[in-house]
Amino acid sequence: MDRLFTRIASRIAGLVGQPATFILAFVAILGWAVTGPIFGYSDTWQLVVNTTTTIVTFLIVFLIQNSQNRDAAAIQAKLDELIRAMDGARNQFIGIEHLADHEVEAIRTALEREIDSEFPAHPAIERFLDRR
């Protein structure tokens, strides 16, 4: 069941991101708008597009989230493998994505301080940061 859902979700997420899909959706909305005068801009006419777009949006959100979750997990696995395979890398960083937000932020801040003390920022970067 998971494999089937993954295949379907990946295929739909890929299709949704295509220009042709956007054009199809635009044409469908345009067709709906053109039929407004025919149906007298009735409540039913409005309900059709509202219901359809709500259902499609609701389902697509879950499919896209599923694809993003898989992509993020794959990237994390690849990064963990790079850390593991590199001499001198700190293996303690493997799996930090499972920590709480404040813990990850504390690690990031400590790393930035460590880098700042070892390698001061390039003058161009300093000028950029001063402009913000």
DSSP state of 86: S
Give the CA count within 13 Å in the CB-facing half-sphere of 10. 9
Which residue from 29, 62, 22, 60 is spatially nearest to 46, judged by alpha carbons?
29
- Identity at 71, one-letter amino acid code: D
pTM of the model: 0.65
pLDDT per position as a tens digit, 1-40:
888 988 898 899 889 989 999 999 999 999 999 999 999 9
The region of weakest confidence among 28-32, 49-53, 76-80, 90-94 is 90-94
